[in-house]
Structure 1
Amino acid sequence: MKVEVLQEKLSKALNISSRFIANRAQLPILANVMLEATKTKLTVFATNLEMSSVVSIGAQVSVPGKITVPSRILFDIVANLSSGKVLLEAQREQLKMEAGSFKGNVMGINALDFPNLPTSLGKSAFKMPQIELIKSLTKTLFCVSGDEARPILTGVLFVFSTNGLTLVATDGFRLTLTKIPVKTAIKDMKVVLPKGILIEIAKQLKSEPIGVEFNQESNQALFGFDDMVLSSRIIEGEFPDYEKIIPKTSKVTLAVDKQELLQTIKLSSIFARESSNVIKMTINKEGITISSESEKTGTQSSQVDAKIEGLEESLQVAYNFRFIEELLNVIEGDLLKIELTDGSSPGVFKDPKDPDFLHLIMPVKVQG
C-alpha cells in the first residue's frame, strides 16, 4: 500500500475511529485501525465488536493495499503533524510515514485478522432527517441508564409507527419520551439502540438525511453518511411498557419559569448533596417552596413563583435534584409545566414549546 492524503482529513477520520476502539481490547488487533487504500480513497476501519466505524477520505493511491496499526499511536502522530500532505506506505507489517521533515515507522499487524465490517447500507435502508433526530437524542440520552445489570435500559427505544417515530429512555427512576413526526418505510417496529452509537450520531452535525438500516439476521443497526458508515449491535430484551407508567390524569398543574427554577435548584443542591441529593417541593397557593437540609451543612428554603391550577390543599413532593437539573438543561422554552397527582405518584414534566416531549420523574420517599 502506498497512498498520499491530507493531514487535516486523516486526523479527522482517526479522531472518529479512535472512539470505536476498546479501552482494553480482548485481542491485540482490536486496538488497531485498519487502513485500506483503493482507487481514489483511503478508508479507516475501527471496531470494539459492539460498534464500528468505516470512514473514507479522498487520497492519491499509488499502490492499493491495507494494513492495521495501533489506533492511539497513529492518531497521536497525525494530530501533531503540520497541515499538508502525508505519505503512508505499508511494507510487510510496518507503516512508513513521511510528512514534511517527519519520518517514522509504525509496527502493525496483518490486516487478514481484522474483523469484517459493513461498508454500505443495503436495499432495505431508509432515510431519516438528521437534524430532528439529533434534537430528539439530545432530549433523550441523559435519561439512559448506566447500569449494565439491566442491559435493556442502557439504550434508547425506537418505536416506528404510522404516526412517526417515538424515542423512549428510562433508568428506572425517570423516563423521557420524544416524538419525531417523520414518515418511514417501517410502520410497526421496536428496536433498542445502545447509548454509545447514538452519542456518535449526535456528534455528526450535518443537514443531509441519514441512512438507516436494521439487519435482523445479524442483529445490527447501520447508519450511513456521505463518507462514513457506523454500525452497532441492537440490544436484545423486552423494554418496559412505558405507556403504562405514564399517568393518564393529574390533579395539580404548575407553570414555572425555567431559569428561576434552575437557579433555585442549584442553590438547594448545595445542601442536598450530603443528603442523597433530595430536595423537597412544597406547593401551596403562594407558589413553590423548595427546601433541602444537611446534618453537616445546614438548611435552606427558597420560594419560586408559579401559576397553579387544581390545588385544593398543600402538597409536598421530594425529588432527586440532579434529575430536575438535567431536565431543565434540555428544555427549549422559558416555562416548565408540571403535572402532579400526589406526593408518591410520578410527576409529569412538559415543555410548552415542544408538545412532542414528555418527561417523568419518580418522587423520593422521605420520612416525615
Structure 2
Amino acid sequence: MKIECTQERLSHAIQLVAKISTPKATLPILGNLLLTTKKGGLKISATDLEIGITTWIGAKIDQEGALTVPTRLLSEFISTNSDKNILLEGTENNLKLKSEHFNANIKGIEASEFPIIPEVKSDFTFSVPKTLLSEAISQTVFSTAMDDTRPVLTGVLFKVEKNLVKVVATDSFRLAEKTINLAKPTTEKAEFIIPAHTLQEVVRILPVAELNVEISVSSNQVLFNFGSGTELVTRLVDGEFPDYTQIIPQAKKTSVAVIKREVASAIKMASYFARESANNIKVVAGVGKGLQIVATSPQLGDNVSQVFAEIVGEEIEISFNAKYLLDALSIIEGEKVCFELNGKFSPAVLKPEKNKDYLYIIMPLRLEE
C-alpha cells in the first residue's frame, strides 16, 4: 500500500471511526483500525464486534493494499502532525508515515485478522432528515434500561408505518416517545430495536452527515448511511418490545401548564433534600394554588418550593423520582410544559405545551403514609 492524502482529511476520518475501537479488548485486533485502498480512495474501518463504522476519504493511490494499525497511536500521530500532506506506505505488518517534518513507523497486524464488518442485505430502507433523527434519539435514549435483565429495554424501538416513525424507549419506570413525520411515506411496516449505545454513536456522527440519513434494516442488523462515504452497521436487539401503548393514559383528571425553567429549578432544589430518600419528591397541584414541590429528609431537613401554574381539574398530590422529571425537562423543547395527571397511583404524562410529537410517561412512587 502506498498513498498520499491531506492531514486534515485523514485526521477527521480517524476521529470519526476511532471511538468504538477498544485497545483493552480481549482481541488485540479490536484496538486497531483497518486501512484499505480501493477505487481511488482510502477506507478506514473500526469495530467492537457489535458496531462497525467505515468512512472513505479521497487519496492519491500509488499502490493498493490493506493493513491494520493501533488506533490510538495512529490517531495521536496524525492529529499532532501539522504538515499539510502525509504519505502512507504499508506492508503486511508495518505502516511507514512520511510528511515534510515528521516520519514514523507503526507496527501493525495483517488485514486478514480484522473482523469482517457485515454487509446488510436490506429488507426495508427509509430516509430520515438528520436533524429529526438526532432530536428523536436524544429525547428517548436516556429512558432505556441500564441493566440487561430485560435486553429489549436496553434498546430503542423504531416503529415505522406509512409516513410516521415512532421512536420509543422505556426502563419500565418511565417511557419516552417521539414521532417523526416522513416526507416520503413508506410502503411497508417495520419494527426493530437498536441498542442504546449504538444510537449514541449515531448522534455523535450525525453533525457531519448529509441532510438525510438512509436507514436499511435486515432481520438482525441495521445500517445507517450518513452520506459522504460514512456508514455504521450494528446488530439489532433480539426480542419483542412490550406493548407500551397500554400504559399511555387515555384520560386526565388534572392538567398543569407551567414554565419549564421555573418548575425545573424547583425540582432541582428539592432533589438536594431528596438525596437520602432515593430522589423521592412530592408534587401538589391545586386549582388557584399553583404547583408545590416538596422534599423531606429525616437526615437533611425539608424544602418547599412554590411555582405558578395554570391548573385545571382536581387537586392532586403525587410523588415522583426527581431525577426522572429532570431528565425529561432537560430535553423537552419550548417555554412551557404540561403535566397530565390521572390519580395518585396512575402514570403521569409530561409533554411540551405546543408540540404534539413528544410525550414522556413517568410512574408515580408509592410511598408509605
TM-score interval (norm. to shorter):
over 0.9
SS of the residue corresponding to residue 354 of structure 1 reads coil
CA contact (8 A) 2:341 2:349 kept: yes
Q: 2-side partners of 1:42 and 1:362: how far apart?
A: 51
After TM superposition, the structure 1 stretch with the greater mean CA deviation from structure 2, 51-60 or 294-303, is 294-303
Instruction: Please tell me the residue identity of whatever aligns with 1:101.
Output: H
Q: TM-score, normalised by structure 1?
A: 0.94
Aligned pairs (5 A) from 1:267-282: 267-282=269-284
CA-CA distance at 1:276 after TM superposition: 0.7
Percent identity among equivalent residues?
35
After TM superposition, the structure 1 stretch with the greater mean CA deviation from structure 2, 168-177 or 188-197, is 188-197
1:16 correspondence with 2:19: no
In structure 2, do the counterparts of structure 1 residues 306 and 83 end up closer, same or farther at CA, with 3 Å as the change threshold? farther
In structure 2, do the counterparts of structure 1 residues 119 and 38 end up closer, same or farther at CA, with 3 Å as the change threshold? farther
Deviation string, structure 1 residues 4-63 (Cα, Å, up to 9, x no partner): 121111111111211222364231211111001224211101111101001111111111
CA contact (8 A) 2:161 2:186 kept: no
* 2:322 counterpart residue number: 321
1:298 correspondence with 2:266: no
Aligned pairs (5 A) from 1:329-340: 329-340=330-341
Q: 1-side partners of 2:120 and 2:277: how far apart?
A: 51
Instruction: Please tell me the residue identity of whatever aligns with 1:294.
Output: S
1:264 correspondence with 2:269: no
Q: 1-side partners of 2:166 and 2:124: how far apart?
A: 20
CA-CA distance at 1:207 after TM superposition: 4.8
SS of the residue corresponding to residue 97 of structure 2 reads strand
Q: TM-score, normalised by structure 2?
A: 0.94
* 2:342 counterpart residue number: 341
* 2:94 counterpart residue number: 94
Q: 2-side partners of 1:299 and 1:118: how far apart?
A: 56
CA contact (8 A) 1:160 1:186 kept: no
In structure 2, do the counterparts of structure 1 residues 83 and 248 end up closer, same or farther at CA, with 3 Å as the change threshold? farther
Instruction: Please tell me the residue identity of whatever aligns with 1:263.
Output: S
Deviation string, structure 1 residues 248-307 (Cα, Å, up to 9, x no partner): 111111111101101111111111122211111112230111011223321110111111
CA contact (8 A) 2:21 2:30 kept: yes
CA contact (8 A) 1:118 1:229 kept: no
* 1:178 counterpart residue number: 178
CA contact (8 A) 1:197 1:231 kept: no
> What stretches of structure 2 of length at least 5 have no aligned partner?
none
The alignment of Structure 1 onto Structure 2 pairs a total of residues equal to 364
SS of the residue corresponding to residue 355 of structure 1 reads coil
Q: 2-side partners of 1:167 and 1:208: how far apart?
A: 19
Q: 2-side partners of 1:167 and 1:83: how far apart?
A: 44
After TM superposition, the structure 1 stretch with the greater mean CA deviation from structure 2, 115-124 or 156-165, is 115-124
CA contact (8 A) 1:8 1:83 kept: no
CA-CA distance at 1:197 after TM superposition: 2.2
Q: 2-side partners of 1:21 and 1:59: how far apart?
A: 23
* 1:165 counterpart residue number: 165
Q: 2-side partners of 1:184 and 1:229: how far apart?
A: 23
Q: 1-side partners of 2:120 and 2:57: how far apart?
A: 15
In structure 2, do the counterparts of structure 1 residues 123 and 270 end up closer, same or farther at CA, with 3 Å as the change threshold? closer
Aligned pairs (5 A) from 1:216-231: 216=219, 219-224=220-225, 225-231=227-233
CA contact (8 A) 1:120 1:229 kept: no
1:209 correspondence with 2:215: no
CA-CA distance at 1:101 after TM superposition: 1.9
1:308 correspondence with 2:311: yes
CA contact (8 A) 1:197 1:232 kept: yes
Q: 2-side partners of 1:332 and 1:26: how far apart?
A: 43
* 1:361 counterpart residue number: 362
After TM superposition, the structure 1 stretch with the greater mean CA deviation from structure 2, 128-137 or 223-232, is 128-137
Aligned pairs (5 A) from 1:62-211: 62-118=62-118, 125-182=125-182, 183-203=184-204, 204-205=206-207, 206-211=209-214
Q: 1-side partners of 2:320 and 2:23: how far apart?
A: 35
CA-CA distance at 1:245 after TM superposition: 1.2
After TM superposition, the structure 1 stretch with the greater mean CA deviation from structure 2, 279-288 or 43-52, is 279-288
CA-CA distance at 1:68 after TM superposition: 0.4
CA contact (8 A) 1:339 1:348 kept: yes
Q: 2-side partners of 1:120 and 1:251: how far apart?
A: 48
Question: Aligned Cα RMSD in Å?
Answer: 1.7
* 2:285 counterpart residue number: 283
CA contact (8 A) 1:22 1:48 kept: yes
SS of the residue corresponding to residue 319 of structure 2 reads strand
SS of the residue corresponding to residue 353 of structure 1 reads coil
CA contact (8 A) 2:123 2:217 kept: no
